[in-house]
Chain A
Amino acid sequence: MSVLYIFLIIVAVFQIYPLVWLFQFSLKSNAEVFGLSPFALPQDPRWENYVRVWTDGNINLYFFNSVWITVTSVLLTILLASFVTFAITRMRWKLNKLVLGLFMVGLMVPIHSAIIPLFAFFLDLNLIDNPLSIILSYTAFNLPLTIMILLGFYYTLPREIEEAAVVDGCSIHRIFFQITLPMTTPVLATTAIINMIYNWNEFIFVNTFISSDKFKTLTVGIQNFIGQYLTDWGAIGATLMISIIPILIAFLILSNRIVEGIAAGSVKG
């Protein structure tokens, strides 16, 4: 039994220590990084590394771009996915299974196989170097997974409440917005988090569609930023920490939902 525990703990150390080490060097000066053992604790924690990278470069701008682009895409995805799932599971029409199937095929498509025509398409629409191109891409590519997670929950919802509302003469839009949508809040939270993590970390769309600094998000921004600070490990560490702290905080607060969402989203894939 204790052998198993030691094994599990070694794996845990392997998973977590690189991040502890990153946090350590984010608080060091170059003299400490290059002169002392990399395992040494920072002698005099330099929190100014964080202040410096936040104010010096465009990190604060990239950060806010990540926030608003992520939030907008998540809201749009959830709204559209809820519409589709409602229409497929609650409303009566013949082609619903076929349409659902078409959405689900999207789960298998590699982004990379679509990126060249997508670039050409946005170029034609004059949406290259425009945040709309990323928001629309995030929404489209997250719809299949989001619908899949919502679907399982919608099937478990009782129909009686909606039926009673219809009898009372409630319009379909009111049924959706005031009855069904509020009932799905728990699963909406799960899908929102999964979407948020995906969008926050997304790289290839931003790297391809966005060229000016004012629209870059954190993942692509830090990539360029680190190029300028090639040898300043403290600055690099602080930049990377800033990009991962929001996710770590979300994880601390919502870890059960995240675990649940990942399990729900992948097993059926």
Chain B
Amino acid sequence: MNKVMSNKAVIALYVLPAFILIVALIYGPILITGYYGLMDWNGIGAMTFVGLENYTQLIKDAQFWQSAYHSFLLAFFSTLSLVPYLAISLILAGKIKGSDLLRKIYLIPMLLSSVAIAQLWVKIYDPNNGMLNSFLTMVGVENPPAWLADTNLVLYAIFVAILWQYAGFYIIIYYAALKGIPESLVEAAKIDGANPVQIAYKIKVPLISGVIKVTVVLAIVGSLKYFDLIYVMTGGGPNGASEVIASYMYKKAFDTFDFGYGSAIAFFLLLITLVVTWITRKLTASEDEIQY
């Protein structure tokens, strides 16, 4: 038994192909990103070592900080949006008829490509023939805004599309966690005279606090990495009003061929993602996990 199951050659044969793949395509590139950040390079020609020049330029780059601010704003809103998602899941998990169907309907946008979602929402926000402004005109709003062309509104308009895309995802996660709570605990609280709101707030939510922490990390980190939807909807415009870290990095590297500077931004994105993950986990870590 042991002889067959601890055959080193077979283990290597089974593990190495996948291992080589992730080292070559994930870990290697991640490390190299930081190194490229030290170079002046257009992606094709020769690389010139410039030390920390890209990184010092980054610190002084107002456009970069604006993008970072937008990314953090999205992260903040995404985290806030977890509250209504949790509320919806609490209602759905309360033995409601049709909750199965409703959950599936909520989930559908999450399955679609960001490109299709982006194009659809561009049409919804179309100032002349879009769904939103036609509706607003119908109910009597004169001169509704041109959502995606308005520097003050564009980020919020995009955030609504993000809400639409991810609602089902978080609702499914919360629902699965809530369904894992033993019925006996809820029954006991009922006998003690707790009303549904108290049960939700004092029993169910604390019991799934572990999952809530995970979703907070997912929401924040996911927002920092946001790219596809914004790139297709607005390309970061108008005038940088919807630029985020990832779209700014992509533009610098693949549109203006400044690979060194793009890599510096990418490295910053990696660091900030890791740091934020670490901080959120620390901040949301409770003294003792609830056991049941």
B169 touches A110 (CB 8 A): no
At the interface, yes or no: B102 with Cβ under 8 Å from chain A? yes
A113 touches B267 (CB 8 A): yes
Q: Write out the residue numbers on chain A whose beta carbons fall within 8 Å of the beta carbon of B114.
A: 201, 203, 219
- State the CA gap A170–B110 with chains docked (Å): 44
Q: Kindly identify which residue among A7, A37, A139, A267 contacts B134, using a CB–CB cutoff of 8 Å.
A: A37
Distance of B180 from chain A, by nearest CB (Å): 9
- State the CA gap A6–B162 with chains docked (Å): 23
- State the CA gap A42–B273 with chains docked (Å): 47
A117 touches B32 (CB 8 A): yes
- State the CA gap A139–B124 with chains docked (Å): 35
A21 touches B176 (CB 8 A): no
Task: Please tell me the size bucket of the interface on A.
Answer: 35 or more
A116 touches B266 (CB 8 A): yes
The digit string for B91-118, where 1 denotes a CB below 8 A from any CB of A, is 1100010000011111111111111100
Central interface residue in A15, A83, A102, A112, by most chain B CB within 10 Å? A112
At the interface, yes or no: B269 with Cβ under 8 Å from chain A? yes
Q: Write out the residue numbers on chain B whose beta carbons fall within 8 Å of the beta carbon of A15.
A: 105-106, 108-109, 164, 167-168
Question: With A87-B14, A172-B5, A240-B120 in contact, do A267 and B19 touch (Cβ < 8 Å)?
Answer: no
The digit string for B1-29, where 1 denotes a CB below 8 A from any CB of A, is 11011111011011101110110111111
B25 touches A236 (CB 8 A): no
At the interface, yes or no: B64 with Cβ under 8 Å from chain A? no
Question: With A110-B225, A259-B103 in contact, do A244 and B112 touch (Cβ < 8 Å)?
Answer: yes
Q: Write out the residue numbers on chain B whose beta carbons fall within 8 Å of the beta carbon of A118.
A: 25, 29
| 5 A-B residue pairs with CB within 8 Å | A37-B134, A80-B17, A91-B5, A172-B10, A240-B120
A223 touches B115 (CB 8 A): yes
- State the CA gap A103–B120 with chains docked (Å): 36
Stretch in contact with the other chain, from A49-57, A183-191, A247-255: A247-255
Distance of B47 from chain A, by nearest CB (Å): 10
- State the CA gap A83–B14 with chains docked (Å): 5
Q: Write out the residue numbers on chain B whose beta carbons fall within 8 Å of the beta carbon of A75.
A: none
At the interface, yes or no: B30 with Cβ under 8 Å from chain A? yes
B contacts with A: majority SS:
helix
B6 touches A91 (CB 8 A): yes
Count chain B residues whose beta carbon lies closer than 8 angstroms to a beta carbon of A: 93
* Smallest Cβ-Cβ distance to B249: which chain A residue: A112
Q: How many A-B residue pairs have CB under 8 A?
A: 274
At the interface, yes or no: B130 with Cβ under 8 Å from chain A? yes
Question: With A18-B164, A118-B25 in contact, do A244 and B113 touch (Cβ < 8 Å)?
Answer: yes
A121 touches B24 (CB 8 A): yes
Q: Write out the residue numbers on chain B whose beta carbons fall within 8 Å of the beta carbon of A236.
A: 119, 123
- State the CA gap A22–B134 with chains docked (Å): 15
At the interface, yes or no: A266 with Cβ under 8 Å from chain B? yes
At the interface, yes or no: A45 with Cβ under 8 Å from chain B? no
B22 touches A144 (CB 8 A): yes
B218 touches A114 (CB 8 A): no
Q: Kindly identify which residue among A16, A92, A136, A203 contacts B113, using a CB–CB cutoff of 8 Å.
A: A203
Show the binding face of A for B, using Cβ within 8 Å.
4-5, 7-9, 11-12, 14-16, 18-19, 21-22, 25, 33-34, 37-39, 80-81, 83-84, 86-88, 90-93, 99, 102-103, 106, 108-121, 123, 136-137, 139-141, 143-144, 163, 166-167, 171-173, 175-176, 197, 200-204, 208, 218-220, 222-223, 226, 233, 236-237, 240, 243-244, 247-248, 251, 255, 258-259, 262-263, 266-267, 269
- State the CA gap A7–B32 with chains docked (Å): 49
Q: Write out the residue numbers on chain A whose beta carbons fall within 8 Å of the beta carbon of B164.
A: 14-15, 18
Q: Write out the residue numbers on chain A whose beta carbons fall within 8 Å of the beta carbon of B108.
A: 15-16, 19, 248, 251
- State the CA gap A240–B221 with chains docked (Å): 28
Given A102-B22, A262-B107, 6 more contacts at CB 8 Å?
A109-B26, A112-B250, A114-B25, A114-B266, A116-B29, A121-B24
Distance of B145 from chain A, by nearest CB (Å): 17
A119 touches B43 (CB 8 A): yes
Q: Write out the residue numbers on chain A whose beta carbons fall within 8 Å of the beta carbon of B263.
A: 116-117
* Smallest Cβ-Cβ distance to B3: which chain A residue: A166
